[in-house]
Amino acid sequence: MSRIFKYAFVIFWTLFVLAPLSWALVTSFKTPAAVNQGATFIPWVQFDPTLDGWKDILGISGYANLIPNMINSMIITFFASLISVTLGGLAAYGLSRFRYGWKYYGNSDIIFFFIAQRILPPVVLAIPFFLLLKNLRLLDTHLGLILVLTSGLMPIVVWLMVDFFNQIPREIDEMAMLEGCNPLQAFRRAILPLSKPGIAISAIFAVIFGWNDLFFALVLTFTEVKTLPAAVVALNGTVTPFWTLAASAIFSILPLIGFVFVVERYLAKGGFSGAVR
Amino acid sequence: MSLELKDLGITDGTDMILEGITYTFEPGRVYVLMGRTLSGKTSLMRTIAGLLDFTDGDMYFNGEDFDVLPTWKRSTSMVYQQFINYPNRTVLGNVLFPLLRSGLSKAEAKAKALEMIDKVGLSSFADRKPGQLSGGQQQRVAIARALIRNSNILLLDEPLMNLDYKLREQLREDFRELFTTSKDSVTIYATTEPAEALLVGDELLVMHEGRIIQSGVPAEVFENPNSVTVAQIVNEPPMSVLTAEISNGTFSIGHRMKSQIPAHLVGLPDGDYQAGFRASELTIGSEGDMKEEGEVDVAEVAGSETLIYLNTPTGYTIVQEEGIHQYISGDKLGITIPPERAFLFDLSGNLVVAPGN
Amino acid sequence: MRDRKRLLTRLAPIPLVVVLAACSSGGSDQGAEDSAGGGSDTAAAEGMGPGPAVKEATFDQNGLVDYTQQPYTPEAYAAAAKVNDGDDDCSYYETSKKDYSGQSITVLAPPPPNMGEPMAQHGAMFKELTGGDVIIENVSVGELYSKAQTAFQTGVSPYDVTVNFSTWIGDFGDFYYAIPEEYTSGTGSLATMLPLYKEIYKWDGETKLFGIDGDRHFMKYRTDVLNDPAAQAYFKEQTGQDLKVPETWTEYNLIASTLNGFEVASQPAGVPLAGSVEIMKRDDLMWSAFINRVAPYAKNPNVTTGFWFDENMTPQVNNPGFVRGLTEFVEATNYVPQGGQNFGLSDEISAFGSGQGIFSYTWDDAWSQANQDDSPIRGNVEAAPNPGAEEVWNSETQQWDTPEGGVNRAPYIAWGWSSAIPQGSENKQMALDFLCFFANEANYQVDLTIGRTGVNPVREESFVPEFWVEGLGWLPGPTQTWIDTLQEYNTASNRVFDLRVPGNGPLMAALADGVALALAGQKDPQAALDEVAQKWEQIVQDIGEDQIKEAYQAVIDLENS
Amino acid sequence: MGINFYKRLFLLPGLLLLIAIIIFPLLFSIRVSFSSWNVSRSGLDFVGGANWARMWSDADFWGAMLRLLNFGVVTTSIQYILGFMLAHYVWQGIKSGRLFRLIWLVPLMTTPSIMAIVWRSIFREDIGAANGLLKSVGLSTIGWSTEIVPAMFTIYVAEIWQWTPFMFLFLLAGLLILPKEPFLAAEIDGSSPTRTFWRITLPLMAPISIGAILIRLIESSKIFDSIFVLTSAGPGNATETPTYFLWKRSLTEFQIAYGATLALTYLIVMIIVLTIVAKVLTYISRPRGW
């Protein structure tokens, strides 16, 4: 019974997940007229498919070429995620293992401080960040956007990784230290190999959130480092080109699917059994 | 190469975790720490290992301030009561790990590790991961890792605690031999088992509430516990402590059972005392002068013996009976108390007289 | 107790930071330090850039401009007619004599096709002619304002040209460079622009916008429906009146409500026919549509003290004229297409263009869409001035007036696309030359003929039907109605203009908020507009009453002209 | 180099980088909230607490804040339940688990603002897929974006579709690192799967769950794109949330000073609420004798 429910739910959810994506895929092959004349679902039968939407975003029709934007996004996402996962992972490890703080301000407050950075919506940080980057002469540069994104991604990494490190028995790093590793070496040699699932998930989150950041990219760049989402949103003119945007929606998740496919294999079950009974 | 603790203490807020620990550990000897859970054994070991900061006193190793050295420079090895190993490494990898920073060549290190693995009896498991081993085997890996570095200080924190009875007996036997390989080390071994203490220890330190309350040769401490507390700690099962009185030439227990003053108690002034009896020296049955009727609370079989916990009018009493017997809660049993085996303590708990052997 | 401590410690960084902020507040005026503003006289001389070097013309005088041969040619231009180069100062010939190689300008523009496409097309050609780079940053229409404003407010000047809505001039006027007079007179490319629009593109007496588009809101109606005998009979039966092009909003509503859902033979298959297609989505230019609905009720030709405020700067948005307009706007929610209460401009254009409604009444876009080759209602749409009203509120006498001739007309000269050169630009000369080239005779003509460029008639020569019928292949009948409509707007005397004052954004947002509440039925029209009026007073206070009043006087002058 | 050196080495690079990046925006926001910077007046004058007083009596803002009870809490709860179910299924093992896992993560990968436009194309009542499907099976159509309940429903659907994978992955991470032993023990005791779930899995997952719920509360309170595109805060102002409100004040009306005031208020309120929520959740999930 519960087995039937389980698979029914799994199938339902999978269909629910795929439905809008299929709709986007179908829409991406429509002409404007086909979109505006009511909902149709089956190409060739209900409408004549065209590649115009795709030509429009790949620079073939001269309308827009999203490939340079995708490269920008890759550069920015890669470095912002790398910095976030590295520094965030170290900080999370520290917060999991040591006691920090000043008077009443302790570890849990520091962790909260990290995550609190995500409370403010980007819309209100846009102007201050704009001024900051202006004064640093980093407007419209990769570095500027990487730094700003890092401030948003690192908190997620810390938040996730603290819980994760808490699950790894402390005795393991103590043991490594007893065996002659300084804490950094203990982290690298003893803990890091155990943390692959945590790092994989942090990296997935960091990359996805970094990749999909729209608002900072929109405000803090002009012409040089337009990222993919900013470029896609910029396609939305007086008349919303649903067909082109649908194609872009599909196009912009392709690299992420590849990345997640590669990284996701590290999410194996039973992380630390055999470490501590 | 001695480890010297001077008035060492740890205070956390108002909690005293360790207090006034003064002791000198010499190399080549095995020191057994006994004490109940939370008595400070683990804290003391972690302090020595540098994993815990102390707040008072001093610690010297070889005459030099030990406190300035971080854990990883102290040359300390530790075996935990849980079986801690690197789950992602093989047995060989685990045993090799401590050698990585030793400056040995890879081949040398490997040879040495294999030798140690052989010594703990795991040669056929060198390529397995800890998760694929039994508990006892895992603990052997941990012990091999601890021994391989020839550390100056070897700390074993109840290493046999989580093993079953048989494995415990077996490993216990191995220990004496294994420890002889580390002649230059200070070895500190924490346990709650008197048998272990007697078997592996050169010195016994009894800890209670963060203090060392008695130290000495294990047999000596065992025979002459200086207080009720020590007596309770070093006896497993604990002693039954009953009220006693000496007056007018009679020795009475619980104001009810009376007998002649046994030989070792002769000459003591009249007054109220406490009398402690080892469980193994109390017997089931109603013989002799001092007998008592009790009601079984719990009875459990340990190895080839049966432990019976009884409520008696005099107090809670624990009896160890040879052989395997079955009792159920509420059974009425007679017990016999041998007055000549009484450890006599004064009312504040200090030893007055031990029965001797 | 512990909990309270926890909470306090979490908030602890805030007071700390407040102290730091207070300490740092002394000399720091991060944003304002180099933000431009005010005195255009001094700025005029600055940042003009090196200007062009002179070179041999590479384009024949009065040569044929063939858009298919240009470096960037999207589909729309590939189909465009070939035209002869004009005689203006910025013709292909004249521009080809300028050498801008090694220089570049950055343009902030909406994405293709609207404005983005001509920018890209002419930018690429400009580079071919002069060697100067025209870099275009496209942002979505919704982002244009904040993108430009962020730069202006913080004193950053990444752009040499910004494309914008002309209604933003109240906020941006001071940040713009004044266009020299030579461009708007003589043989300048803007010389033949209608005087009305020349005025609209001025701020504080100076031309601040490089006018590339002229807009107004007008009514589009479906002739196939209004001329359908069955519909006529049905309408007569239901209302006792003849079915004709509505003269007033009352008639408009009556027709739209009566024929909502009516089936006519010419209706595109599978598309239900609704009465009216309107912009009702709150933050998607709905306020602009709403102005049409109230204009004839609230713009009284006898009142010269203003449409939006009276002389004491008391908001008029809740006067009975506005309330009447809103009441009818709310009624209209009953006969818009399905989901029409949530239509933005984009939806309005595509919905009317695909035949979903009998009426629509905002910008030219829906008109262009309906006239495109692939439009299912091509040839069935005509244009007329927006409906009027049979009575009009007099804010001076505080009563309803009956207009002369029975109908009060108050066309809304709505804002449209325009472009400007920010004060902060370092290469104004090149920016000017580019905009001027963009708007030269040949380009203007061709852009006009391509509906989706967003360029609409703004110059005298465009208001002849032949131009459209021959140039674009539009059908003569509908085109004539459209030209007539535009001409009527150009010459009308009782007109409504956007509230071109600083704070236009917040004022219109407040208006839209109130109207949305009424549309959703959460408030009745009077209460909703009273709240708007209250907010307006607050906004006027915040921005500065004098400042707004001064700017508003220019709007009143336009209204009364 | 003692332990303190390393202790700092772990935390400080990240913390200091973060502080370096956010200190200016924070200071600036606080400073600017005491100024009158608006669309026609850029610069940092000092007007005292005028903005703060105005915020206090801004009924629209507080109305929007109240709406978070709806959007933040409801969507987070649904996401948590669905995400937990999915994660639990994958953790228990399902056929083609990796494939499902990958497919379920795809929504998270889409850009919310672009996806919102796709949702608009689905829920547009005249040409959208949702009504199209309803019509094709002969059902009556629904006013997805023009009636309050369906409008909220569409926003829920968009949010749940987009963000449940986040919960799923976060919780899966937690499940994957759970110790095996309690489950072995339960198996030996012959505990039923349901019992095991309620008595072992759920309590063991409490810390991770709280972490996931808090971060989703933070994130879903920032809900913006779907509202902007789908309903434009309508009908009326029924779907106007603080982020939307802030966005309008700050970036469309450029009431920079007032916007900063609202933002800081929002920050403070959220810190207080989240701290309380964390406490309550910790209290509810505290270990109990069963």
What range defines the domain where residue D3 resides?
Answer: 1-31
> Do residues C403 and C433 both lie within one domain?
no
Dump pLDDT digits (tens) for B241-253: 988 988 888 888 8
Burial class (CB in 10 A: 0-12, 13-18, 19+), C15: exposed
Asked if B95 and B148 touch (Cβ cutoff 8 Å), the reply is yes
> Do residues D22 and D154 both lie within one domain?
no
Dump pLDDT digits (tens) for B276-316: 999 888 888 877 778 888 889 888 887 788 889 988 888 88
Report the residue from A37, A128, A197 with minimal CB separation from D177: A197
- Domains of chain B in start order, with CATH, are 3-225 (3.40.50.300), 240-353 (2.40.50.140)
Dump pLDDT digits (tens) for D70-120: 888 899 999 999 999 999 998 888 888 888 989 999 999 999 989 999 999
Q: Point out the least confidently predicted range of B158-167, B296-305, C231-240.
A: B158-167
> Does the beta-carbon distance from C350 to A127 stay under 8 Å?
no
CA triplet A242, A243, A249: central angle to 5 degrees? 80
The highest-confidence range among B229-238, C477-486, C520-529, by mean pLDDT, is C520-529
Task: Provide Rg for chain A, Cα atoms.
Answer: 23
Q: Point out the least confidently predicted range of A21-25, A236-240, D164-168.
A: A236-240
> Does the beta-carbon distance from D3 to B68 stay under 8 Å?
no
The sign of the CA dihedral D128, D134, D138, D143 is negative
Asked if C512 and C283 touch (Cβ cutoff 8 Å), the reply is yes
What are the tokens at D168? 């799923």
> Does the beta-carbon distance from D1 to B71 stay under 8 Å?
no
The highest-confidence range among B6-15, C376-385, C446-455, D176-185, by mean pLDDT, is C376-385
> Do residues C164 and C272 both lie within one domain?
no
Dump pLDDT digits (tens) for C130-166: 999 999 999 988 889 989 999 998 888 899 999 999 8
Question: Are D and A neighbours with ≥3 CB pairs closer than 8 A?
Answer: yes
Q: How many CB atoms lie within 10 A of CB D53?
A: 11
> Do residues C168 and C238 both lie within one domain?
no
pLDDT band at C14 (very low <50, low <70, confident <90, very high): low
Q: State residue C136 phi and psi, 5-degree precision.
A: -110, 125
> Do residues D17 and D93 both lie within one domain?
no
- In this predicted structure, what is the pLDDT of residue C343? 92
Residue C5, in any domain of the structure = no
Residue D129, in any domain of the structure = yes
Residues 199-238 of D with CB under 8 A from C: 228, 231-238
- In this predicted structure, what is the pLDDT of residue C392? 95
Residue B5: strand, helix, or coil: strand
Task: Report how far residue B204's alpha carbon sits from residue B215's, in angstroms, rounded to the nearest whole number.
Answer: 5
pLDDT band at C337 (very low <50, low <70, confident <90, very high): very high
Residue C267, in any domain of the structure = yes
pLDDT band at C45 (very low <50, low <70, confident <90, very high): low
What range defines the domain where residue C146 resides?
Answer: 45-209+417-455
> Do residues D269 and D169 both lie within one domain?
yes
Residues of chain D contacting B50 with CB distance shorter than 8 Å: 3
pLDDT over 90 (residue C478): no
> Do residues C400 and C421 both lie within one domain?
no
Max intra-chain CA distance, chain A: 73
- Is-cis flag, bond preceding D235, omega within 30? yes
A226 HSE (CA, 13 A, CB side)? 21
Residue C487, in any domain of the structure = no
User: What are the strands, taking DSSP E only, across C342-495?
Assistant: 357-360, 381-384, 392-394, 399-401, 412-413, 417-420
Q: What pTM value is reported for the model?
A: 0.88
CA distances D209 to D172, D213, D216, D286, Å, are 10, 6, 10, 13
Last residue of a domain, one of C455, C470, C504: C455
Residues of chain C contacting D38 with CB distance shorter than 8 Å: 503, 542-543
pLDDT band at D246 (very low <50, low <70, confident <90, very high): very high
The sign of the CA dihedral C542, C547, C551, C556 is positive
B224-229 contact pairs (CB < 8 A, 24+): B224/B351, B224/B354, B225/B343, B225/B351, B225/B354, B226/B350, B226/B351, B227/B345, B227/B349, B227/B350, B227/B351, B228/B274, B228/B276, B228/B345, B228/B349, B229/B349
Q: State residue D128 phi and psi, 5-degree precision.
A: -80, 160
- In this predicted structure, what is the pLDDT of residue B340? 86
Q: Which residues neighbour B108 within 8 Å (Cβ) at sequence distance 6 or greater?
A: none
Number of domains forming the structure of chain C: 2
> Do residues C423 and C406 both lie within one domain?
no
Q: Identify the residue among A6, A98, A124, A276 best suited for mutation to test binding to D, counting D beta carbons within 10 A and taking the highest.
A: A124
> Do residues C432 and C353 both lie within one domain?
no
Residue D290, in any domain of the structure = no
CA distances C29 to B198, D39, D121, Å, are 79, 16, 45
> Do residues C250 and C156 both lie within one domain?
no
- In this predicted structure, what is the pLDDT of residue C24? 46
Task: Report how far residue B37's alpha carbon sits from residue A98's, in angstroms, rounded to the nearest whole number.
Answer: 24
Q: How many CB atoms lie within 10 A of CB B106?
A: 10
Burial class (CB in 10 A: 0-12, 13-18, 19+), C507: buried
- In this predicted structure, what is the pLDDT of residue C209? 92
pLDDT over 90 (residue A145): yes
Q: Does B81 touch chain A (CB under 8 A)?
A: no
Q: Which residues neighbour B159 within 8 Å (Cβ) at sequence distance 6 or greater?
A: B79, B80, B81, B139, B142, B143, B171, B189
> Does the beta-carbon distance from C342 to D234 stay under 8 Å?
yes
Residues of chain D contacting C337 with CB distance shorter than 8 Å: 125-126
Ramachandran class of B30: left when φ > 0, alpha when ψ lies in -120 to 50, beta otherwise? beta
pLDDT over 50 (residue C42): no
CA distances B120 to C32, C329, D241, Å, are 76, 90, 66
Task: Report how far residue A222's alpha carbon sits from residue C150's, in angstroms, rounded to the nearest whole number.
Answer: 12
- In this predicted structure, what is the pLDDT of residue D61? 93
Taking CA atoms, what residue in D is nearest to A6?
D89
What is the 3 state secondary structure string of C106-136?
A: EEEECCCCCCHHHHHHHHHHHHHHHCCEEEE
**Average pLDDT of every residue of chain C:** 87
CA triplet D176, D179, D180: central angle to 5 degrees? 95
- In this predicted structure, what is the pLDDT of residue C27? 37
pLDDT over 50 (residue C25): no
Number of domains forming the structure of chain D: 2
CA distances B231 to B37, B234, B277, B345, Å, are 16, 5, 9, 10
Residue D8, in any domain of the structure = yes
> Do residues C199 and C334 both lie within one domain?
no
Closest approach of A127 to chain C, Cα-based (Å): 7
Which comes out higher in pLDDT, residue D3 or C24? D3
Query: Region B32-44: what's the mean pLDDT?
Result: 89
Residue C329, in any domain of the structure = yes
Give me the CATH number covering residue C505: 3.40.190.10
Residue C351, in any domain of the structure = yes
> Do residues D70 and D15 both lie within one domain?
no
Residue C308, in any domain of the structure = yes
pLDDT over 60 (residue C74): yes
pLDDT band at B197 (very low <50, low <70, confident <90, very high): confident
Which comes out higher in pLDDT, residue D146 or C13? D146
pLDDT over 70 (residue C7): no
pLDDT over 80 (residue A92): yes
Domain-by-domain residue ranges, chain A?
Answer: 29-65+235-270, 69-225
pLDDT band at A275 (very low <50, low <70, confident <90, very high): very low
> Do residues C268 and C236 both lie within one domain?
yes
Q: Which residues neighbour A167 within 8 Å (Cβ) at sequence distance 6 or greater?
A: A271, A272, D177, D178, D179
> Does the beta-carbon distance from B100 to A182 stay under 8 Å?
no
Dump pLDDT digits (tens) for C47-64: 888 889 999 999 999 899
What end-to-end distance do the CA atoms of chain A give, in Å?
35
- In this predicted structure, what is the pLDDT of residue A274? 42
Dump pLDDT digits (tens) for A154-163: 999 999 999 8
Instruction: Show which subunits contact D, needing at least 3 CB pairs below 8 angstroms.
Output: A, B, C
> Do residues C421 and C308 both lie within one domain?
no
Residue C479, in any domain of the structure = no
Amino acid found at B263: A
> Do residues D14 and D155 both lie within one domain?
no
- In this predicted structure, what is the pLDDT of residue C8? 59
Dump pLDDT digits (tens) for B103-155: 788 899 999 999 889 888 888 999 998 888 888 888 889 988 888 888 889 99
> Do residues D9 and D102 both lie within one domain?
no
Whose CA is closest to D38, among C19, A127, C313?
A127
Residue C88: strand, helix, or coil: coil
ipTM: 0.86
Asked if D94 and D100 touch (Cβ cutoff 8 Å), the reply is yes
User: What are the strands, taking DSSP E only, across chain A?
Assistant: none
Task: Report how far residue B336's alpha carbon sits from residue B334's, in angstroms, rounded to the nearest whole number.
Answer: 7
Dump pLDDT digits (tens) for C390-422: 999 999 999 999 998 899 999 999 888 999 999
> Do residues D17 and D63 both lie within one domain?
no
- In this predicted structure, what is the pLDDT of residue A1? 62
Q: Point out the least confidently predicted range of B158-167, B174-183, B299-308, D141-150.
A: B174-183
> Do residues C451 and C502 both lie within one domain?
no
> Does the beta-carbon distance from D3 to B70 stay under 8 Å?
yes
Residue D52, in any domain of the structure = no
Closest approach of A44 to chain D, Cα-based (Å): 17
- In this predicted structure, what is the pLDDT of residue C43? 41
Q: Which residues neighbour C459 within 8 Å (Cβ) at sequence distance 6 or greater?
A: C192, C193, C194, C214, C444
> Do residues C346 and C332 both lie within one domain?
yes
CA B279 to chain centre: 18
pLDDT over 70 (residue A39): yes
- In this predicted structure, what is the pLDDT of residue C39? 38
CA D34 to chain centre: 29
- In this predicted structure, what is the pLDDT of residue C15? 54
CA triplet D249, D251, D254: central angle to 5 degrees? 65
Homologous superfamily, domain A69-225: MetI-like (1.10.3720.10)
CA C389 to chain centre: 24
Dump pLDDT digits (tens) for C166-191: 889 988 988 999 999 888 888 888 88
